[in-house]
A = this chain, B = another copy of it.
Amino acid sequence: MKSPSQPRDRGIPEATVARLPLYLRALHGMAERGIATVSSEDLAGAAGVNSAKLRKDLSHLGSYGTRGVGYEVEYLVYQISRELGLTQDWAVAIVGVGNLGRALANYGGFVSRGFRVAALVDADPEVVGDTIAGLNVEHIDDLEAVIARRGVSIVVLAIPAAAAQKVCDRVIAVGVTSILNFAPVVLSVPDGVDVRKVDLSIELQILAFHEQRKAGGPLMAVDSQ
């Protein structure tokens, strides 16, 4: 026989990984409202995806549903959390405590489960030493020491584009392999380092493209009345 609930495939598709947090959030909401089991149809609805896609996504983790019934909410929360690595605590350092860095540090929600802001770092002597969100702001010169001391494994870059590559190189040099970049610049990193980018400007430009398209296209080839 085989043990019934084992993650089968070590290779989970990237598209699936990107949706797991969505499912997890929906499940947390259901758990809080006391819902014990949920069908793929309902969960897919809450997460805004197709139910077949949801089932296929979950099937990559293992066979955690019961046919005729659905998925047990608490159990699925645990399995997804474990798969995403949220059963452990990740220490996050935020580099740059300008407007954005401050917002991130104070944004309690984003560090809800599994993540902990462990350090704030900035280059401006004016803010070094300040306390933001209960944390002391340390100097960028001590970046490497801070990362080592606090056990930081994920670094968030909330600094100007011009400074991003240099800081990126420094944190990689001391072993960081996960970076969330808010600076509007393409970081070049060696293999094995993951960079995820959040770029407000790009998102707005994509919206503008579609908005313009709705309004009649760039040439405004009006055949409307």
Contacts and interface: CB of A to CB of B under 8 A. Distances in A.
A70 B103 CA distance: 43
A151 interface: no
A114 B179 CA distance: 29
Interface string A112-152: 10110000000000000000000000000000000000000
Interface in A185-200: 186, 188, 192, 194, 196, 198-200
Contact of A177 (B83, B109, B211): B211
Contacts of A200: 104, 107, 110, 180, 198
Interface centre among A25, A85, A92 (most CB of B within 10 A): A85
A160 B84 CA distance: 24
Nearest to A217: B10
Interface in A11-44: 17-18, 20-22, 24-26
A141 to B, nearest CB: 25
A196 B203 CA distance: 7
Interface string A62-103: 000000000000000000001111111010100000111011
B186 A47 contact: yes
A84 B209 CA distance: 4
Interface centre among A104, A207, A212 (most CB of B within 10 A): A207
Contact of A153 (B188, B194, B211, B218): B211
8 contacts: A21-B199, A21-B205, A25-B184, A46-B186, A88-B212, A178-B207, A196-B207, A198-B198
Interface of A: 7, 10, 17-18, 20-22, 24-26, 46-48, 82-88, 90, 92, 98-100, 102-104, 106-107, 109-110, 112, 114-115, 153-154, 161, 177-180, 184, 186, 188, 192, 194, 196, 198-214, 217-219
